[in-house]
Amino acid sequence: MEQLTVRQVREYLATSRSIIVPIGSIEQHGYHLPLVTDTLVAREISRRVGSRTNTLVAPVISFTFSGGGLPGTINVSPAVMSLLVQDILSSLALQGFRQFFLVLAHGGSENLAALGDALKILLRSNPLFEQGLICLFPVWKFDAQGTGWRKAFAEGDWHAGWLETSLMLALAPELVRLEQLELDPAPLLELQIAHPDNYQRAEKIVDEPLVIPRLSQRPDIRVGVMGYPQRASRELGMKLAESMVEEMAARLESIRARAQGGYREVQFTPPPIVIREEST
């Protein structure tokens, strides 16, 4: 989209109201992958899906919430990130776009929760989206073969491991520095592989359940790899990227083909009740 002119976007809107919005991050990815990894994956996968489905691709949103604290990581608070996404979608809706496909290449517990809540509130409260369709396409949801994201997550390959490194070898090999590959010491690496949020530590002035903890990155983590990047290969990355694009394009076209008429009631299952008695 950013390379088009006003006339070209107007001509596109005369034939289609769909747009793909890539969302990445600028964050630590070890010593072998660049800070722009998530942003680049979001942009390149989106462009390939857009090409296959004749769908315009918006400029990538690079600044979100990582939670990490290693040099180069840029954190935008989840609240600000969610407001930014809402404003961007509202701006596009004012121009006439009605079908929004958000391709998310960065997870993060806080980031995902804030984005999901923001999109629901946007649909609930903004009349611009009375007939608006918003789809969240996290890249890790597209693994029908079970040889990519599902396999990686089952192994604890969460971040800057074999999957992301393979993808980068396929999408931007000139940015991969395998000769500089390093890992944190085994105990720290194993801790992060066991759970992706184990990179954090919690501190309290009073160790009491009603006191909110202050979370920060563990100071002994220096590299920030969560997984096994030494297993990566360009061939694997090309296969994963192609499979992801094919599956995402098919899903987009299926949703778009079924988007006839307005909103109608569907099954609603409330989330689990989280209010419970805590020990005092």
Q: Are 145 and 113 in contact (CB under 8 A)?
A: no
**For residues 63-79, average pLDDT:** 95
- Fill in the DSSP letter of residue 272: P
Q: What is the pLDDT of residue 108?
A: 85
What is the dihedral sign for C-alpha 257, 262, 263, 265?
negative
279 three-class SS: coil
Instruction: Provide, rounded to the nearest whole percent, the portion of the chain with pLDDT above 70.
Output: 98
Model pTM? Answer: 0.94
**For residues 146-151, average pLDDT:** 95
Torsion angle, alpha carbons of 77, 80, 81, 83, to 10: 160
**For residues 178-196, average pLDDT:** 96
Beta partners for 159? 226
On the question of pLDDT at 1 being above 80, the answer is yes
**For residues 129-141, average pLDDT:** 96
Band of residue 276 on the pLDDT scale cut at 50, 70, 90: low
- Number of helices and strands in the chain (H, E): 8, 6
Domains in the chain: ranges and CATH: 12-257 (3.40.50.10310)
Tokens read off for 263? 């909103």
Tokens read off for 268? 């609603």
Q: Mean of the per-residue pLDDT values for the chain?
A: 95
Q: What is the pLDDT of residue 272?
A: 86
Tokens read off for 159? 């971040």
DSSP secondary structure string for all residues of 184-203:
--HHHHHHHHH-GGGGEEEE
